[in-house]
Amino acid sequence: MSYPVIVGIDGTDASHAAIDWATEEAGLRRVPLHILHAWLGETLSAPAGQEVRRTRDAGEEALGAAREQAELHRPGLAVTTELADDYARDALLAMSADTNLLVLGARGSGGFPRLLVGSTSLSVSAHALCPVVVVHSPDAQSAPGGVLVGVDGEKYSDDVLIFAFETARRRRLPLQAVHAWSYPLVSGPGHAFPPVYEESHIAAERERLLAEALAGRRAQYPEVQVAEVAVRSGAAKLLVTLSEIHQLVVVGRHGSVRGPMRRLGSVSQAVVQHAHCPVAVVPVG
């Protein structure tokens, strides 16, 4: 079954970038594009008794403009629209069970310039049942790099690697796989490798683990040009820095089920908030 790519819009500039990215992805996947606007919580200033009508009319207008933008960007693509009588977060999470990809703009419309990612995008990234792409910059497609994927050593997920390789293949982009490690390595609570365990040995071991993680997917996607590097660094810092020269960052969602962001771990959350290009968050497990 060909599930559509679903893009959530709110009429902001961030939505325009998300529409272009989602339209291109739907075209490459050869599936329809579904544009969703949920209007609850966005009531406009209007005379008493007319708030709902005015807000729904604005939503319909935003959907019409979004559809026109998508059809101009990718002529011939099947495009549908939906005005949901719901809050954006709830509507998008409900639809995540019936699609393979949700796309959202990064910046919210709450008027806080220092808030790099809106609360809806963060929440949907943390809870959706499918991969979520948060689109930061409309200029990312001009970046010299391709797809960047973070690989979590022994705990790497095939779901994350498959998403990264598939995207690189569809978009005919190179793939860079990175693994960040610390020194000394911690093997468990309160335990670390002894100082005599040479840093060069750790680096070689990390490189070996990364190569093993990629070996099967390299064979499956021989047309994808792959570069791999294991670096002594913080994972979030490394991915955010490299996002400046890439067109997409792919991360897994490994966070704890507790806490305000629940399953969106600290690395994934930092990358979603601070990356310079679109970020794909892939649920694991």
Domain of 220, CATH number, reads 3.40.50.620
Give the CB-side neighbour count of residue 234, counting CA atoms within 13 A: 9
Q: Are residues 100 and 18 in the same domain?
A: yes
Residue-range definition of the domain harbouring residue 113? 5-135
CA gap 53, 51 in Å, rounded? 6
Give yes or no for residue 6 having a pLDDT over 80. Answer: yes
Q: Are residues 172 and 276 in the same domain?
A: yes
Query: What pLDDT, on a 0 to 100 scale, did the predictor assign at position 154?
Result: 63
Q: Last residue of a domain, which of 94, 116, 135?
A: 135
Q: Are residues 258 and 151 in the same domain?
A: yes
Least confident of 33-37, 79-83, 150-154, 272-276: 150-154
Q: Are residues 58 and 190 in the same domain?
A: no
Residue 269, burial from CB neighbour count under 10 angstroms (0-12, 13-18, 19+): buried
Q: Are residues 41 and 156 in the same domain?
A: no
Quick one: which of 276, 275, 268 has its CA closest to 127? 268
Provide the residue type at 284 as one letter.
V
Kindly indicate the confidence band of residue 47, based on its pLDDT and cuts at 50, 70 and 90.
very low
Provide the residue type at 255 as one letter.
G
**Residue 230 · residue 238 · CB < 8 Å:** no
Q: Last residue of a domain, which of 135, 161, 190?
A: 135
Q: Are residues 131 and 150 in the same domain?
A: no
Segments of 44-139 assigned E as strands: 79-84, 102-105, 132-135
- Domains identified in the chain, total number: 2
Q: Last residue of a domain, which of 135, 152, 182?
A: 135
**Residue 267 · residue 255 · CB < 8 Å:** no
Residue 284 DSSP label: -
**Cα-based angle 52, 55, 60 (whole degrees, multiple of 5):** 120
Q: Are residues 112 and 189 in the same domain?
A: no
| Residue appearing with tokens 């990390």 | 206
Write down the pTM of the prediction.
0.86
Q: Are residues 155 and 23 in the same domain?
A: no
Q: Are residues 279 and 191 in the same domain?
A: yes
Q: Are residues 128 and 202 in the same domain?
A: no
